[in-house]
Each structure stands twice: as C-alpha cells, then as structure tokens.
With several copies, the nearest count.
Chain A
Amino acid sequence: MRLGHLQFSTRAAVIGGVLLGLSAGLLAGVGGFTFIYAKGFSYMTNDPMSCANCHVMQGHLDAWRKGSHHAVATCNDCHTPHDFVGKWLTKSLNGYHHSLAFTTGKFHEPIQITARNESVTEQTCRHCHADIVNQIDFHASGTGRDMSCIRCHAGVGHME
C-alpha cells in the first residue's frame, strides 16, 4: 500500500507536468505577475527543494528533513489531497495565496497552517494510515483540531 502510494505520487507529478500550462493559464488571470515573480511555479513540481524557493519556506524544509517522514513523504504528499482534482485545485489556491502573501510580505509570523489546509493534511494522514487508525478513528470527523492526528503527532511533518 505504501509503495502503491509512492507510485501514485510520481505518476501524478508526470501528469502534473502536462497540466502545468493549463494551471498556469488559469492563474494568469488572477495573479499572473505576482505568481511568476514569486516563483509560484514551484507549486507545480513535487520537489521539496522547490517549495523552499521561497526563503520563508526554508525553515519548514529544514524541519521536514528532521521529521520522521522525510524518507516517505514530500511536501505535497501531506499538503495536497491524494486525489487528482483536489490536488491541483489545492495547488492552485495555495500557489496564488502564498505568492500574494510573499510579495506583499503581509502574513502572520510564525506562519500558521490555515484551517482548510490543516484539514487537507489530516486527510492525508488518514489516507496513508487507514489501516492502523481504523478502530480509533471511525467516529472522528477528522476536521479541525477536535480529534486531529497532529494534536498528538505534532512533530511528524516538521520536527521542532
């Protein structure tokens, strides 16, 4: 199952490459200049290094390297949904939002994950760990902090 997922990621990246133009086109309408200026294209690849194109992401990259998952999950494995549409929609939304924030410099520090993206991430945990959490999670809504995984496993993605 793990292996399967990793293959899925790679394949998604390939398809992603094909769709890159399409997505960029979509975004050009909303925030083209900002997007390009701020290296928003980084969002279209699966390479963690490319997230760190923005220096504000450097700390998260470093912390990911120390986290328990650096060998098994890249940024997108946790920060984008594991289905095709959700993945690219999320990438576009985040790409636009973060590029704008980066350009204007207006964002809360330390950077905090948005509720929506936290929910995305929570679902990715459950996606990969479905078997092990079967018993404990069947009543959980999986949204917000209520029965969230990172309430206990905070350092999984990014070790302090």
Chain B
Amino acid sequence: TALLVNIFEHKQEARNPFFRVVEITSEDVDPAKWGKNFPLQYDQYKKTVDQVRTRFGGSEAMPRTPTDADPRGIVSQSRLEEDPRLKIMWAGYAFSKDFREERGHAYMLDDQTFTERQKIAKQPGACIQCHGSVYNVYLEQGGGDLQKGFQKVNSMPYAEARKLVEHPIACLDCHDPETMALRVTRPGFINGMKVLKESQGISNYDVNTQATHQEMRSFVCGQCHVEYYFKGPDKQLTYPWHKGLKVENILAYYEEVGFTDWTHAETSAPVLKAQHPEFETWNQGIHARSGVSCADCHMPYMRVGAQKISDHHVRSPLLNINNACQTCHKFPEEEMLARAVSIQEKTFNMRDKAMNALVDLINDIKTARVEGVNDDQLSGALVFQKRAQFFLDFVEAENSMGFHAPQESVRILGESINFSRQGSRVLRGADVTTSPLTLSNIVPTPAASKWVVAGGATEKVDTP
C-alpha cells in the first residue's frame, strides 16, 4: 500500500497577493520598474553582483585595471590558470586564451562583451540569446515574429546584435508581465524541446502551453544552461537534442550531421567543445527524477517578514543550505555540505585522471605524426581524441562538478578515459577492430511515472 504523494506540490497556495504600484506592460524591460511592484524579489535579484567562492563553485572577485577595450574593474578567477591542461585540450580554440569561472547573472552581458574570446574569433549575434534581455529585441526585429527575429539576430555580427540589447537577464525574460506566470522566451529552447519531444514520439510540442508548472521552474533556466552549437553558415543557435539529452545522444547527433567546432592545433583532429550542459546533466540525476527543479535549489523559498518569496538571488545553493536543502533533507547544514562536497571531490578526482589521459593521447598523436604512423591508426586515434575530449568537456564544462548527477558524471569521465587510452593503444599498434568505435547504447531508464521531467521516455521497465 504505497502512499503516493506528489512532492511537486509546493505550498504555493498560501501565496501573497501583491499591490500593483505601477502598471507593467510588455514594453517594460527595465527590472527597476518591475521592482516597484515586487521590491522583495528585486532586492534579491540585485544581489547577483555578489561574488563568494565555494570549494568548486561560486566565484572569486579578482580586481583588474580597467582599459578602454575592457572597462571591467573586477572579473572572476581564470580557470586556465587553475588548470593549464585546459590550454592543451582546447589548443587552437578561443577558449584556450580566456576562460573564467562564471559568476552572477548581473555580469552576463559585460562578461560576454569583454571576454578575450571576442577578440580572437569573430563571434556571431547568436551568442546574445543567453547573455542579455533579448525577447523584445527579437519581437521587434521579426516584426512581431519571435522566430524570425531570432534568426535575424543570430546571423548578425556580435557587435551589431550587442547594440540592440541594454540589460542582462530581466524580469520579462522569465515572467509574463500581465500575470507574472513563468514563460519561456528563448527560441533556442522552444525549438530544442520540440526536437527532443519529437525523438520521444511527441510532435508539435509547445513548451509554453504544454509544460507543467513544476517543469517551468526548470525550463526557464534550461533556456540558457545547456549545450548548444551554431548551425550552418548563418549561425543559427541550435540545441543538439535530436536524439536525446545524454552525452552519447548528443555526440551521435553531431557525428551524424558532421559538425565539429574547430581543428585541434596540436593534432589536427576535428574536435568538439561542450558548454554548460547543466540542464542535460540535471536531467540524468535523481533530483530531476524526483521532480526537484532548478529553482527549488537555486531560488528556494525564503521568508521575508510575514511573506514567503522565491529567492531571486540566484547563486550556489551551498551558500544557502538551510533554505536550499533542509526543506527536503533533515540533516544538519554541515552534513549537507559534506555530502555535496564528497560527490564533487570524487568527480574532480576522475576529471583529473581523464584530463591526464587526454593529454597523454595528444602527446602520443604528436609523437606518432613525427615518427610516422599508418593512416588507419591515425584516423582512429583522432576520432578517439574527439570523443574523449567531448565527454571530458561535458563534465568539465558542467558547473556543478558532478553534483547534478553524480553517478552519470563519473560514468562519462570513465568513458572519456577509455576513449583516450584506446586512442593511445591504437596508435601504438593495437588493432583498431579490437577497440570498436561504436558508442555505448546507454538508454536512459525510463521513469515509471509522472515524476520524470523533460528527458524521460514513457515506457515501463520490466519487473524483475
């Protein structure tokens, strides 16, 4: 006799009505104006300028001397200096020149505008979807048609697109100004969910009308915290979810469409870069499976006087364990912290091994090119490099250091090690056929219920 409880149901019912001090229209981008009606949320929102470090997250404020080209007086710590092997991994790509720990939402527009990466390669307007308040810009540029405006801005040069945008993420990017309901405003995500659902046999999925309320509490974040690529010469921003959300699905898609990001400077391998697949990774974890959303941890409810609000100071939950974790987990704060860090340390340790294995492979390829090697072996090794790197990067670029899906993250790193080392072995004379290049067919175990969120299929598993 199972007691079936819907843990999605938060105690939302007893929410406070609010006073409209000013009338907000769909034209109002400026959060300060929204803040007149919702001063508590606005106050917290402004706090995303804070910089505090955790063991693997948060960020550290590093002072720098502002220049005309880059007026920022403070940036966050350089990840390349923390681990120089990243420069070998990304040799020949803009990331090997400037890559920093990400910080609060307040900085998103500036950090994109002034990153050194802008100088090294010409970036497209597509970049801006995730770094500024672009919803109204897309509508204007598309003459009322969101997708049209999106396509148009995507193919602009970055500098041109940048001029159209004034604010980092603003209230209207997540909220309907009339009803304050959550909404998805990013065409990249709307299209991404459509192809993902199609792969599960659901056609014409429309996230804004078909998602549940609890799903929306993650989907507003999944708008940006995802892996992406720029498709074709007109740089259309695309989420590679056509076969599913697992790393194997995504790699298989890229290999099918023949996409690679750049040519590795030291080995000439055509390779891929992964970026912040938080949404995809979270989707493989037990929290997603239990219906726990991004907002539950990163925007937990907080009490302000007699009111309960969603904490709009979006940040590391490890800086806010009582609100972020203890509503669900009845363990002391320091114990919850130790649990998270323990997961992260195991991931970090494997990441280290995977990084060494990849550097070994890159060195082996370089040596082999000098010393001579047959074409079969070389081309096999280059494919292994691409895969090893993409798998490693999928965890490296994910920002929770494995927390969002502990077993899955370490599994991916284990595969990465296997790819790197097989590449070396093949180069050193092992028969390629003993190291088959087929990807594992890891099918996500379908959730047997409504608990699953975005990624799951719907069939039942066999009883034992």
Q: Do chains A and B touch in the complex (CB under 8 A)?
A: yes
- Residues in A lying within 8 Å of B, measured CB to CB: 55-56, 58-59, 62-63, 68, 81, 83, 86, 89-90, 93, 108-110, 112, 116, 119-120, 123, 126, 131-147, 151-155, 159-160
Contact with A along B286-327 (1 / 0, CB 8 A): 000001000010000111001111100000000000110011
Contact across chains for A146 and B213 when beta carbons are under 8 A apart? yes
Which one of B1, B13, B291, B330 contacts A155 once the chains associate, using CB atoms below 8 Å?
B330
In the complex, what residue of chain A is closest to B13 when comparing beta carbons? A62
Do B306 and A132 have beta carbons less than 8 Å apart? yes
CB pair A134 B17 closer than 8 Å: yes
Please give the distance in Å from A59's CB to the nearest CB on chain B. 6
Cα(A154)–Cα(B7), bound, Å: 14
Given contacts A132-B306, A135-B17, contact A81 B8 (CB under 8 A): yes
CA–CA, A138 to B181, complex, Å? 9
16 extra A-B contacts, CB within 8 A, seeds A89-B4, A141-B12 = A81-B4, A86-B4, A112-B326, A126-B12, A132-B306, A133-B308, A134-B15, A135-B17, A136-B301, A136-B308, A138-B15, A139-B179, A140-B213, A146-B213, A154-B330, A160-B328
Cβ of A112: which chain B residues have Cβ within 8 Å of it?
326, 330
Q: With a CB–CB cut-off of 8 A, which chain B residues contact A139?
A: 179-182, 213
Q: 18 A-B residue contacts at CB 8 Å?
A: A59-B14, A83-B7, A86-B7, A86-B8, A110-B327, A116-B1, A119-B8, A120-B4, A134-B17, A141-B213, A146-B212, A146-B214, A151-B291, A152-B296, A152-B328, A153-B327, A154-B328, A155-B5
- B14–A62 touching, CB < 8 Å: yes
Residue in A closest to B214 when the chains form the complex, CB atoms: A146
Chain A CB within 10 A, most for which of B4, B17, B326, B450: B4
Inter-chain contacts of B327 with A (CB < 8 A): 110, 152-153
A119, B4: Cα distance in complex, Å:
10
With CB as the reference atom, state the residue of chain B lying closest to A127: B11
Listed residue (A120, A153, A160) with the most chain B CB atoms within 10 angstroms of its CB: A160
Q: Could you tell me if B326 and A110 are in contact, using CB atoms closer than 8 angstroms?
A: yes
The 8 A-B pairs of least Cβ separation, nearest first, read: A152-B327, A134-B17, A138-B17, A123-B8, A138-B15, A146-B214, A142-B12, A135-B17
Q: Which B-chain residue is minimally distant from A66 (CB atoms)?
A: B5
Count chain B CB atoms within 10 A of each CB in A81, A110, A154 and give the residue with the most. Answer: A110
Q: List, in ascending order, chain A residues with CB within 8 A of B4's CB.
A: 81, 86, 89-90, 116, 120
Q: How far is the CB of B285 from chain A (nearest CB, A)?
A: 17
Chain A residue nearest to B215 in the complex (CB): A146
- Could you tell me if B330 and A108 are in contact, using CB atoms closer than 8 angstroms? no
| CB closest residue in chain B, given A129 | B308
CB pair B309 A119 closer than 8 Å: no
Let me know if B15 and A120 touch, CB within 8 A: no
Chain B proximity of A20: nearest CB distance (Å): 21
Q: Which residues on the B side are within 8 Å of A56 (C-beta)?
A: 303
B38 vs chain A, min Cβ distance (A): 9
Does B451 interact with chain A (Cβ within 8 Å)? yes
Could you say which of A112, A137, A146, A147 has the most chain B C-beta atoms within 10 Å of its C-beta? A146
What residues on B are CB-neighbors of A159 within 8 Å?
5
Q: Which residues of B contact A (CB under 8 A)?
A: 1, 3-5, 7-9, 11-18, 179-182, 212-214, 291, 296, 301-303, 306-310, 322-323, 326-328, 330, 450-451
Measured CB to CB, the nearest residue on chain A to B330 is A155
Contacts of A134 in B (CB 8 A): 15, 17, 307
Does the CB pair B306–A55 fall under 8 Å? yes
Q: How far is the CA of A145 from the CA of B301 in the complex (A)?
A: 17
Q: Which A residues lie within 8 Å of B291 (CB)?
A: 145, 151
A135 touches B11 (CB 8 A): no
* A120-B8, A146-B212, A154-B330 known; A68 vs B3 contact (CB < 8 Å): yes
Given the known inter-chain contacts A139-B180, A140-B213, A152-B327, please indicate yes or no for A132 contacting B3, CB distance below 8 A. no
A99 to B37, CA, bound (A): 32
Q: Are the CB atoms of B303 and A136 closer together than 8 Å?
A: no
CA distance A137 to B212 in the complex (A): 14
A126 to B212, CA, bound (A): 20
A96 to B152, CA, bound (A): 65
Contact between B5 and A62, CB atoms less than 8 A apart: no
Establish whether residues B8 and A59, one from each chain, have CB atoms under 8 Å apart when the complex forms: no
User: Measured between C-beta atoms, what is the minimum distance from A143 to chain B in Å?
Assistant: 7
Task: Decide: B11 and A143 in contact? CB cutoff 8 A.
Answer: no
Whether B1 contacts A93 by the Cβ 8 Å rule is yes
A134–B212 CA distance with the chains assembled, in angstroms: 20
CB of A106, distance to nearest CB on chain B (Å): 13
Q: Please measure, in the bound complex, the distance between the C-alpha atom of A147 and the C-alpha atom of B327, giving whole angstroms.
A: 15
Residues from chain B with Cβ under 8 Å of A146 in the complex:
212-214
Do the beta carbons of A137 and B15 come within 8 Å of each other?
A: yes
Q: Which residues of the other chain, A, contact B326 by a CB distance below 8 angstroms?
A: 110, 112
Q: Which residues of A have CB within 8 Å of B179?
A: 139
Contact of A147 among B214, B306, B322, B323 (CB under 8 A): B214
The closest CB in chain B to the CB of A116 belongs to B1
Interchain CA distance A117-B326 in the complex, whole Å = 19
B307, A160: Cβ atoms closer than 8 Å: no
Given contacts A135-B309, A139-B213, contact A109 B8 (CB under 8 A): no
Residues of chain B with a CB closer than 8 A to A138's CB: 15-17, 180
Q: How far is B301's CA from A69's CA once the two chains are assembled, in angstroms?
A: 20
Query: What separation, in Å, do the CA atoms of A140 and B296 have in the docked complex?
Result: 15
Closest CB of chain B to A82's CB: distance in Å? 10
Tell whether, in the assembled complex, residue B308 and residue A145 are in contact, meaning their CB atoms are under 8 Å apart: no
Contact B308 A160 (CB under 8 A): no
What B residues does A147 contact at CB under 8 A? 213-214
Closest Cβ of chain A to B44, distance in Å, is: 13
